[in-house]
């Protein structure tokens, strides 16, 4: 049995590195790391882990980083790592986990999320994309929107309606869709930043094998809730050092450009810094809670705080810079894997932050979740139940 302590895991990493050259073949190294249980140490053996406590993951990651080992480029496959993997681990069959988890973790297969629709964004359960059983397959027709990474993804987590006569939360089923299959078309959505980070996806007679169904037919909402709770943590609960992220850009600007300072802005910058530090510590506490189990509705509060802070801080930076803050660096049409919030201009950060209160659940929906599930306030009247 493995020694599930920090020192025990460091010894396992050291033994692994003695037989696997971190400067050699990148993919081969990452595959071997997964097979050794040193990918997600809290996963069961055979699924990239050792059954160790989740908080020991950082011990393993730090040991590999110190050795100069390659990582799995998590920003390139953020949806797969942050949303698909936890859902598969909890709801997929053993065969499905064997097929998808290793290439997901190594980055050989990128994932995207086919949830939101033009008429079902904030109210996801009212989606209209249909999946009709045809022998061993499901035939899917519909449209999805705001799909990050669809232009690079091999697989997608897909929520579709399989019983239109059932109440809307009970008539959906959760699938894994092959983005290279016939009938799947991806079209870029150009944003205010000039880039097309998002996409819309059209499904026209796309066939999904029943073997790619996750969970029982009609139980898609229960599976999707696992995805959504992890999504909010993935967006708003990333581990950051003090002054990490956009507040660090604002703080450095304040220190390095005294010519831009005013008394009124000093108070606003200080308040933003304090709120960012409080949000960082709250996210750290949430990640410690997650180490003891699945994320709960508390992730909604962290994501809501992240969205509001991003917009406040980016607005303050533009205001502090004055006329120079209105100058955008490049309107070239690109299709990036992820936003470059720290490497671009203040205008880019300001424009991109507008989407933070929409993606991963709108701020309005998150406030309702916090009110009902965290604070225990009476539920809003609903006419659709």
Q: Please tell me which residue in 231, 243, 317, 319 is annotated as part of the active site.
A: 231
The Cα–Cα gap between 260 and 237 comes to 31
Query: Do residues 82 and 234 make contact, with C-beta atoms less than 8 angstroms apart?
Result: yes
How far out from the chain centre does Cα 281 lie? 20
Of residues 302, 370, 367, the one with CA closest to residue 122: 367
Q: Which three-class secondary structure state does DSSP give residue 291?
A: coil
The Cα–Cα gap between 57 and 77 comes to 18
The Cα–Cα gap between 227 and 294 comes to 11
Of residues 168, 34, 44, 2, the one with CA closest to residue 107: 34
How far out from the chain centre does Cα 366 lie? 16
The Cα–Cα gap between 211 and 93 comes to 10
Query: Do residues 31 and 80 make contact, with C-beta atoms less than 8 angstroms apart?
Result: no
Pairing of strands 172-178, 155-161: antiparallel
Of residues 328, 325, 314, the one with CA closest to residue 245: 314
φ and ψ at 226, to 5 degrees?
Answer: -60, -45
Query: Do residues 69 and 209 make contact, with C-beta atoms less than 8 angstroms apart?
Result: no
Asked if 364 is an active-site residue, the reply is no
Hey, which residues does 324 pair with through a beta bridge?
none
Positions annotated as catalytic residues are: 231
């Amino acid at each position: 049995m493995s020694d599930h302590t920090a020192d025990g895991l460091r010894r396992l990493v050291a033994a692994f590195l003695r037989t696997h050259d971190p400067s050699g073949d990148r993919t081969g190294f990452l595959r071997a790391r997964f097979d050794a249980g040193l990918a997600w140490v809290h996963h069961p053996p055979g699924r990239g882990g050792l059954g160790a406590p989740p908080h020991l993951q950082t011990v393993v990651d730090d040991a590999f980083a110190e050795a100069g080992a390659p990582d799995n480029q998590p920003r390139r496959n953020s949806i797969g790592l942050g949303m698909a993997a936890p859902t598969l681990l909890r709801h997929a069959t053993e065969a499905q986990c064997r097929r998808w988890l290793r290439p997901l973790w190594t980055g050989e297969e990128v994932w995207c999320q086919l949830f939101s629709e033009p008429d079902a964004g904030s109210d996801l359960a009212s989606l209209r994309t249909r999946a009709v059983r045809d022998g061993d397959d499901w035939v899917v027709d519909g449209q999805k929107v705001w799909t990050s990474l669809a232009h690079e993804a091999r697989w997608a987590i897909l929520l579709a309606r399989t019983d239109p006569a059932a109440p809307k939360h009970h008539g959906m089923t959760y699938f894994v869709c092959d983005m290279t299959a016939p009938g799947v078309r991806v079209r870029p959505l150009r944003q205010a930043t000039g880039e097309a980070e998002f996409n819309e996806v059209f499904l026209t007679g796309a066939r999904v094998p029943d073997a790619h169904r996750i969970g029982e037919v009609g139980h898609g909402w229960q599976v999707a809730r696992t995805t959504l709770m992890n999504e909010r943590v993935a967006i708003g609960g990333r581990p950051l050092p003090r002054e990490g992220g956009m507040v660090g850009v604002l703080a450095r600007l304040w220190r390095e450009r005294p010519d831009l300072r005013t008394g009124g802005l000093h108070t606003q910058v200080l308040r933003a810094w304090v709120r960012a530090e409080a949000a960082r510590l709250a996210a750290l506490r949430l990640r410690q809670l997650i180490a003891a189990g699945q994320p709960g509705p508390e992730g909604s509060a962290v994501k809501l705080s992240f969205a509001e802070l991003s917009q406040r801080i980016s607005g303050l930076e533009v205001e502090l810079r004055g006329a120079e803050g209105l100058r955008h660096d490049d309107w070239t049409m690109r299709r990036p894997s992820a936003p470059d919030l720290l490497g671009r201009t203040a205008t880019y950060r300001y424009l991109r932050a507008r989407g933070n209160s929409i993606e991963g659940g709108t701020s309005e929906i998150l406030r309702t979740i916090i009110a009902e599930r965290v604070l225990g306030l009476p539920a809003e009247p609903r006419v659709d139940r």
